[in-house]
Amino acid sequence: MFTRRSILGSVSAASFVLASNSVTALAASPLSAVVTLNGQTFTYNETSGRDLGNFVSAIGGFTLRCIRCDVAGSPLTVLFRPDVNSDRAEVVFELGRVFSGTPANLRAYSVSIYRGGAFLAKVDVPAHYWFSRWRWQSSQRPIVGNVEHLIGQGLLPPYHPTSAAAPSVPAPVTSTLNCVLDLSKQKVCSTTSSTPLVATAADLLKSFVSYTVMGLAGITAYMPQTGERDDIGLVTESQAQYLITGAQAPLDCWRAQAEGAGTVPWHLRDENTNAPVNFRTYPTATMYATGSANPLIKQTTSPVTVDAAHMPALAYVPYLLTGDPYHREDLQFQANYCWGALPPGYRPSIPQSRAFAWYLRSLAQWARITPAAVPSWLLPQSYWFGFLEQHRQYLEANYVNSPNPVRAMFRSTGDIDNGRNEARAPGGTWIDPWQEEFVAAVIGWIVSMGFSNWQTTFDWKIGSTLARTGTSSGWIRAQATPYRVILRSSPRAPIVGSWAEAWALTAQVAQLKYRNRDSWVDTDMTYLTYSRGALAYANKLGNPAVTENLSWATNQLVSNGWKIPYKWRFGLGF
């Protein structure tokens, strides 16, 4: 049996102090937290809070209580969460009101946590952002999920776990300095101040694995940042590396980032219901400032900029492997944020294909793992199923069954009419095939999860990938996944009528070249890894037409020595 190891402590030792007798605290004793903020002291007591109901973890085998406590004069909400059947406890600190209050970040404050009369910990909080949160926990939840079983159920991508020794650090990752660190080459990266930095393994593990309160543990703070990033995909790079290898370094990494997800300002909890805001109850509520907003959910700026088109997958895998409802909540908050960020009149819609892909990813994950009955501080299964079904029907009506050749022939979810003008891709003429691969892979995962009614949409969507990676459509697969595919000569010209015509026009306008139509031409094969990922899902779902295409894409990557990121190694045994 392939085992997984766990570690202790999710918060950097520099960020809090534990009392030596904390592990012996009695479960029967109530929790309390003393917050010192702006020279004032606020005491939160479990005994004076409101019991929101128990969470029973089918994965972890524990029952957790949730008691909400607010104190007059303090902007913080505290959630006391002791286990019913053990002495483990956690305390969650949240900032932000959906329907009341003035959005404002907090400066530094400190918290002392007690159980009964026993001091447990002191935490110094450097700042706290509106709609962000953090927690203190007496111990981490252990790893209890069986990876092979979860893969077999379709709940995880089709990786091939191996017990082979893993690298001592994760594969190249995106650092908090917004550059890619490749430790094998000791690449010199530049900070925003243009000061060079030589990364070492110790530097990487310190900055990437350690989590401090209101820290990100390597999650990209400015999410609109473009380019391949380790925190974007069906899962993150560290999650995938752990699922495949079981190594300690990626485990530390995704553990830290799962806590860092609390820093992201997407935690919109309805102060009246105690659950994430229900956009069925408030269909015109939005964070998007528009005349149709009713109500407008007010925000403020923070060091973290959320962007649906580059939204990382931080909570789903941690929840499956630990059963920890803190991560389950984060997934709800994230999926909900994507809907609430759109103006009411644009729901549902596809602003960008990649944004749609990552929203579907989170939405399907939550719909799949949510039971029918949940405590009051979570939204029920019916809520997520409803949104998922609404998006399926929207896709079929507006894309799968559309006579528009952009949809019918080229199977694109892109908005060709509003594309920007570029030197080799005039505005209003192109689509992004690499973004389409995200959509295809995510929908393939949705079908694998058990949502068989998405099969029609997947069969439609994968048609584009098959055409570009095959030999019979007229498209030259040496350029299977270019940055742009040109579908008309000008914004007012008609759409070309075949893949062969699309190739001819794209080759002319974008100046695409090749020497051998069956050999990849670009030294950067990143986009081909996306195409291969979509094809791997078609293969998993039994599409007989994909065999040769998948074999070709895999061979191109392997023969060229391309280091396929762990997160895209679907169906590979290495």
User: pLDDT by residue (tens digit) across 266-319?
Assistant: 999 999 999 999 999 999 999 999 888 999 999 999 999 999 999 999 999 999
> 370, exposed or middle or buried, with CB in 10 Å at 0-12, 13-18, 19+?
buried
Q: Grade residue 27 by pLDDT with cuts at 50, 70 and 90.
A: low
pLDDT score, position 209: 66
> 271, exposed or middle or buried, with CB in 10 Å at 0-12, 13-18, 19+?
middle
| Helix (H) or strand (E) run with residue 468 in it | helix 455-469
Asked whether the predicted pLDDT for residue 16 surpasses 50, the reply is no
Count: domains in the chain: 1
**What secondary structure letter does DSSP report for 400?**
I
Q: Measured between alpha carbons, how far is 121 from 233 in angstroms, rounded to an integer?
A: 36
Q: Higher confidence at residue 573 or residue 317? A: 317
Asked whether the predicted pLDDT for residue 450 surpasses 50, the reply is yes
Asked whether the predicted pLDDT for residue 172 surpasses 60, the reply is no
- Stretch 549-573: mean pLDDT, rounded? 95
Asked whether the predicted pLDDT for residue 24 surpasses 90, the reply is no
With respect to residue 334, please indicate whether it lies within any of the assigned structural domains. yes
With respect to residue 351, please indicate whether it lies within any of the assigned structural domains. yes
- The pair phi, psi for residue 521, each rounded to 5°, is -100, -20
Q: Grade residue 185 by pLDDT with cuts at 50, 70 and 90.
A: very low
User: pLDDT by residue (tens digit) across 88-99?
Assistant: 999 999 999 999
User: pLDDT by residue (tens digit) across 121-139?
Assistant: 999 999 999 999 999 999 9
What tokens does 57 get? 């973890």
Asked whether the predicted pLDDT for residue 574 surpasses 90, the reply is no
Contact 170, 563 (CB under 8 A): no
Range of the domain at 542: 270-568
pTM (predicted TM-score):
0.89
What tokens does 378 get? 């979570």
With respect to residue 550, please indicate whether it lies within any of the assigned structural domains. yes
Q: Grade residue 187 by pLDDT with cuts at 50, 70 and 90.
A: very low
Asked whether the predicted pLDDT for residue 561 surpasses 80, the reply is yes
With respect to residue 218, please indicate whether it lies within any of the assigned structural domains. no
Q: Higher confidence at residue 13 or residue 492? A: 492
Q: Grade residue 195 by pLDDT with cuts at 50, 70 and 90.
A: very low
- 547-559 and 526-540 helices, crossing angle to 10°: 150
Ranking 77-81, 201-205, 341-345, 455-459 by mean pLDDT, the lowest is 201-205
Q: Grade residue 320 by pLDDT with cuts at 50, 70 and 90.
A: very high
Nearest to 431 by CA among 510, 362, 361: 510
pLDDT score, position 175: 26
Average pLDDT, the chain: 88
With respect to residue 39, please indicate whether it lies within any of the assigned structural domains. no
Q: Measured between alpha carbons, how far is 319 from 331 in angstroms, rounded to an integer?
A: 9
Give, in degrees to the nearest 5, the angle at Cα 45 between 43 and 48: 120
pLDDT score, position 292: 84
Nearest to 536 by CA among 325, 76, 528: 528
pLDDT score, position 58: 92
- 526-540 and 455-469 helices, crossing angle to 10°: 130
96, 100, 102, 108: CA torsion to nearest 10: -30
Q: Is the peptide bond between 295 and the residue preceding it cis, with omega within 30 degrees of 0?
A: yes
pLDDT score, position 35: 98
With respect to residue 171, please indicate whether it lies within any of the assigned structural domains. no
User: pLDDT by residue (tens digit) across 505-545?
Assistant: 999 999 999 999 999 997 899 999 999 999 999 999 999 99
- Stretch 450-463: mean pLDDT, rounded? 98
- Stretch 242-255: mean pLDDT, rounded? 95
With respect to residue 450, please indicate whether it lies within any of the assigned structural domains. yes
User: pLDDT by residue (tens digit) across 197-219?
Assistant: 233 333 344 445 689 999 999 99
pLDDT score, position 478: 98
List Cβ neighbours of 125 (8 Å cut-off, separation of 6 or more): 93, 106, 108, 109, 110, 111, 134, 213, 214
With respect to residue 471, please indicate whether it lies within any of the assigned structural domains. yes
